[in-house]
Structure 1
Amino acid sequence: MIETDIAIVGAGFGGLAAAIRLKQRGHHDFVVLEKADEVGGTWRDNTYPGCACDVPSHLYSFSFALNPGWSDTFSGQAEIWAYLRGCVEKFGVTPHLRLGHTVGDAAWDERSQRWHVETDRGTFSARVLIVATGPLSEPSLPDIPGLATFAGTVFHSARWRHDHDLAGRRVAVIGTGASAIQFVPKIQPVVGSLTVFQRTPPWIMGRMSRPISRAEHAVYRRVPGAQRLVRTAIYWVRDASALGFLHPRINRLGQKLAEGHLRRQVGDPELRAKLTPTYVMGCKRVLLSNDYLPALTQSNVDVVTESIREVRPGGIVTVDGVEHEADTIIFGTGFHVTDSPVMQRIRGRDGRTLAETWTPTMRAYNGTAVAGFPNLFFLLGPNTGLGHTSVVLMAESQVAHVLAALDHMRRNGIAAIEPTEQAQRRYVERIDARMAGTVWATGGCQSWYLDSTGRNSTLWPGFATGFRLRLRRFRAADYAAVRLQQGAPL
């Protein structure tokens, strides 16, 4: 068994933020367990055509590692992935990486007050476990009757088959979310025919993207504080936009803009009707694109709104009995956000898995710690997502909270710490109360934000600033602790 003080699972934005900050605070006995052979998480895995971020580049980066070299105001996948790899080198994280290590089980051992983390390349014993697998790591495929009988090629957008030439193919795309609106315009000119199966149309706004000029690059490199000033301005503008989600009436202006965007880009009234949402803007994720809607107007594209009944060897059959021929099916159906498989592999003090504890819904204190799971910290856990700005802000706030917890443990000779049931319950009740009046609860849609109970267990119902201020303070009274050596509860 390999001994380490802290084990981090996942090497995406969250895991790397934790690793870098740990080193900066003098913690050097830690490992980063990553199942892939490279860091990057979401930005390593999603290589589909057109993959890019819908948060401004200056804000979608670490606050302690601004990048003056971004090529565009909204960065593409390859550039973000390169940025993360650069951070690994810059901050000396490489020696701590354990790539190609898939975690099969992580169990808390009460006797030793440590986590035993089993991987396919050995077992690690750690005092503290930080889970940073992220909400967008496990692709979700719908259970469609007959899918196994399909004679063609099937893949999810997060596992893009670059070896499969789409030229001249009859392609079916299932899903019209954030990934589909990026890759559909890229493959439309190449394929023979494209059938887009839409369950619910998204609200789409124009993408205000542009190349960053040489002059701007020069200023960012040579003028101290210039880029941080720009980042700060973007931060406040984006965070203020949360008002429209918290108070849906404010979103009426945004909805009018989106309606105008649709009218300008889709002239056919029948197609435009198919693409017009019937729910309040913001209830589902608002998408940014300038080329998705025009792609749907092309002669080789058909938008199908009837529900799918089954898949046959040669295509997809909808409930109206029509068979839509296809030789390739691409799923743009999102990820296991509220039922991630990692939950089944983490076992707390009583031997119950996180999946069992989180049945029927996910609950965590500050979205970061869970009662019954000592010395376990989540990055981008329950109710930490944002519908309006960068989740990197949330991850950094959580890392700061974890560091405060570690400092508290060291100062007070504490071996193990976890939130009390009462503190966790109070926190979740406040979250649910604040969620009640938001667009996510009143907008009239079904989204991936909601779990099987209908509860929004994914998003933070407020401003990013509010979350950051809350996590800045470590409330020791909300935690139960076990002293070093004594083994007696405080």
Structure 2
Amino acid sequence: MGSCKEQTEDPKPNCEFVSGPIIVGAGPSGLAVAACLSNHGVPSLILEKSDCIASLWQHKTYDRLKLHLPKQFCQLPLMGFPDNFPKYPTKHQFISYLEAYASHFSIKPRFNQAVQNASFDSAYGLWRVQTQDFLYISRWLIVATGENAEPVIPHIHGLDKFQGPIRHTSVYKSGSDFRNQRVLVIGCGNSGMEVSLDLCRYNAIPHMVVRNTVHVLPREMFGFSTFQIGMTLLKWLPVKLVDKILLLVASLTLGNTEQLGLRRPKTGPLELKSATGKTPVLDVGALSQIKSGKIKVVENVKEMTRNGAKFMNGQEKEFDSIILATGYKSNVPTWLKGCDFFTEEGMPKSPCPSCWKGCDGLYTVGFARKGLSGTAYDAVEIAKDIVDQWKTSQDCKKSSTCDPHIILVK
């Protein structure tokens, strides 16, 4: 890296030219692409707004969390999980794996660097990335903030009237804080199901709001991961047929979930995941608690009251606390400017698998809606694409026919 302070007549402080790509985000996506670039001899700089790698995993996940998929589908490129890790690693094991991964590839992000603005300077063919106290400039920008950067807080009429505590799952750690309480859990995805299950361990009475249709599948079928079975079948069968097979086995093992208030979408689970990114729930025990009545399934909320909620079916119940299991969203539109590669929701407009590459040296990793396996694929492809450009730029620098450090900071 070279400083751009010395390259202008009117230099501004705290400005740096980055010879390799700038990567925004030090989660699994950012680490994976940095490792793949390093493996090809290409340096990079990761900018991370928090004080650690994988801040979502370290600061915004509940204690009982485990990977929902077997570890072989969740490992990053070039380095697998330790052999002694269980089939479904815990949250803490996954974090330790990421820390070992960063150490192995000598990845050292710059922490507490929140990107406020990133834009492409077409006059010089360079990306200008501004944090709260620094300006970074590079030929390449890799967006690695992912699909789950910011919590989604839904608009619910009267939510501000409720007198009890309201928490998003991003700050939920354990049901111990809700012991013996009546808790309204809004959302029935994987987080909503697992938080409700965790609450049962502390004698709380969770009421889980089902706002939309949802696919619930067993985590395993016949001793194998449901995900693994689905991916294997997709090699030979069309997705609609694979979905029918999965739903048939789910019906035999779980029973009719619609009788429990969990209506299935008309589109099959894998087809729906591919089209919308909506992940099916992989049951780890919540369904049995629903069947036993320990987890109450309730309709969507019409409005909140001072002491509870009114539901669409006319019922009204009192609650001590509310937990918002309403998921996360991308934050890319808040800081990436002058770029039409992303939708208003912060997702790439290009369909997968080509969603990892934009124009003008822009790349994205972890937006394929395919979990960590999608992240690994993106990281490998991005490194392949950048390496030839990197070699050309280095040859250019050596020949002194051009100087990539000549940058005007306006």
Q: Distance in 1 between the 2:301 and 2:217 partners?
A: 28
1:47 maps to what in 2?
61
Deviations 1:331-357 (A, max 9, x none): 111222xxx22223112xxxx2448x6
Inter-CA distance 189–410: structure 2 relative to 1 (3 Å threshold)? same
Partner of 1:462: none
Instruction: Tell me which residue corresponds to 1:103.
Output: 115
Please point out which of 9, 27, 30 is paired with 2:42. 27
Asked whether the equivalents of residues 59 and 234 of structure 1 are also in contact (C-alpha less than 8 Å), the reply is: no
- Distance (Å, rounded) in 2 between the aligned partners of 1:255 and 1:163: 32
Alignment of 1:180-195 (within 5 A): 180-195=192-207
Q: Give the TM-score of the pair, scaled to structure 1.
A: 0.68
Q: 2:220 aligns with which of 208, 213, 221?
A: 208
Q: Is the 1:138–1:335 contact (alpha carbons within 8 Å) kept by the matching residues of 2?
A: yes
- The CA deviation string for residues 7-66 of structure 1, in whole angstroms up to 9 with x for no partner, is 1100111100121222222223x3211111110154334421431222210221123111
Contact 2:302 2:311 survives alignment (8 Å): yes
Structure 2 CA distance, aligned partners of 1:60 and 1:137? 19
SS at match of 1:377: strand
Give the CA deviation at 1:238.
Answer: 5.6
Give the alignment partner of residue 318 of structure 1, picking from 280, 305, 311.
311
1:275 and 2:240 matched: no
Question: How far is the alpha carbon of 1:280 from its aligned partner?
Answer: 3.8
8 Å Cα contact 1:174-1:198 kept in structure 2: yes
Task: Give the conservation status (yes or no) of the 8 Å contact 1:369–1:376.
Answer: yes
Residue 346, structure 1, aligned to residue 336, structure 2: yes
Shift of residue 411 of structure 1? 7.9
Structure 1 residue aligned with 2:289, among 290, 295, 299?
Answer: 295
Structure with the bigger RCO (C-alpha within 8 Å, sep 6+) is 2
Counterpart of 1:318 in structure 2: which amino acid? Answer: F
Matched, 1:358 2:346: no
Q: Percent identity?
A: 21
Alignment match of 2:30 (pick from 8, 12, 15): 15
CA contact (8 A) 2:363 2:382 kept: no
> 1:451 matched to which residue of 2?
none
Counterpart secondary structure, 1:179: helix
Contact between 2:128 and 2:135, CA under 8 Å: does it hold in 1? yes
Query: Displacement, 1:120?
Result: 1.8
What is the CA RMSD across the aligned residues, in angstroms?
A: 3.4
- 1:54-453 equivalences under 5 Å are 54-94=68-108, 97-160=109-172, 165-208=177-220, 239-242=231-234, 246-263=238-255, 272-282=259-269, 283=272, 284-305=278-299, 307-336=300-329, 340-347=330-337, 352-354=338-340, 358=343, 362-364=348-350, 366-371=354-359, 374-381=360-367, 384-386=368-370, 390-404=373-387, 406-407=389-390, 409-410=392-393
The residue type paired with residue 214 of structure 2 is P
TM-score by length of 2: 0.80
- Distance change (3 Å), C-alpha of 1:22 and 1:120: same
Q: Sort the Cα spacing of 1:413 and 1:239 in 2 relative to 1 into closer, same or farther, 3 A.
A: farther
Q: Which runs of 5+ in 2 are unaligned?
A: 1-14, 273-277, 405-410
Q: What is the distance in 1 between the residues matched to 2:297 and 2:112?
A: 41
Preserved CA contact (<8 Å) 2:174 2:198: no
Q: Distance in 1 between matches of 2:97 and 2:81?
A: 8
Gap runs ≥5 in structure 1 = 212-232, 415-482
Q: Which amino acid in the other structure matches residue 251 of structure 1?
A: D
Partners of 2:152 and 2:170 lie apart in 1 by 10
Contact 2:260 2:297 in 1 (8 A): no
